[in-house]
Structure 1
Amino acid sequence: MSDVRHVLVLPDRDAAEEVAQALGDRFGVREEPRVVRDALAGEDDAEDAQWLVLLRDEEEHLDAAALDEFAGEWEGWREEP
C-alpha cells in the first residue's frame, strides 16, 4: 500500500470546506479529507492564509489533473506534497 497524498490549496476556509465535502460526490473519496490553515511565511494577518485540503489516495485512483481542475472551480489548485 502506498502513501500517496494530494494537497489542494484554496483561498479561504469556506472554499476549503466546500471542496472537502464535494470530493466525495465528484471523486468517490471515502475518507474524510483534512482541512488545515496554512499561514504564509512571515504573515501574521489571518487574511493572508491559505487553506489546504489534504487527502490520501492509497489506491492511486485519483487523477492529479482532474483534482487541479476541480480545485480551480474554487480559485484553488493542486500542489505536489
Structure 2
Amino acid sequence: MDELEFTEAESNMNDLVSEYQQYQDATADEEGVLRALAPLPLTSISSLGIINVDYNFIEASFPAIEATKKPPCDPIKNSSR
C-alpha cells in the first residue's frame, strides 16, 4: 500500500467512527424522548405477557391481541368533550 491508500483508509475509519458516534447520540436522544413521553418505564416485549417465555407461541387471549381485532376508529370523533 502506498501513502495515499493509508490516508484514504484513515479517512474512511474516521468517517465510520464519526457516523457511529452520531448514531449513538441519536439513539440516546430518542430513548430520552420516549422515556419522557411514556407514562410507565419502557419494558421488554416479553414482560408485557403476550409472548410465552419459551417463545413458542403467542397467547391470543391477551388484551394486546384482542385490541388488534377491533376496527380502527377516528380518535378525534370519538373523544369525549
Scaled to the shorter chain, the TM-score interval is: under 0.3
Is the radius of gyration larger for structure 1 or structure 2? Answer: 2
TM-score (norm 2): 0.24
TM-score by length of 1: 0.24
Structure having the higher helix fraction is: 2
